[in-house]
Structure 1
């Protein structure tokens, strides 16, 4: 069986993928996977389908964090 040639870190993998011309874009998504916050909805704070918030409230700090991001 041939030996696998897998990069040893996430950053090396990201660099390799970008050099192949396969760059990706990070897009926020509804935590229930109802919709993506992109194009006309890139500044929306709530899902249009289920009403879920785009952000998590952090209990220690009053800051907002994205629920999830999708890569394509």
Structure 2
């Protein structure tokens, strides 16, 4: 499953992301049982900086952060 959260004021068209996700992980492919979730969050730089500081101990903004978790995203 893919989930999108837009924390910006900019409108995001997620259709292309969903299409790419389905090409990489075809829903009917046996090995793609989708036992995982992918969350994509569009965020402002100050929020990215806070996450980067919290999880990577780097006090600067980042264009992309990739985090692995066993728990679902919570605010």
Higher strand share: 1
Alignment TM class, shorter chain as reference: under 0.3
Larger C-alpha radius of gyration, 1 or 2?
Answer: 1
Higher helix share: 2
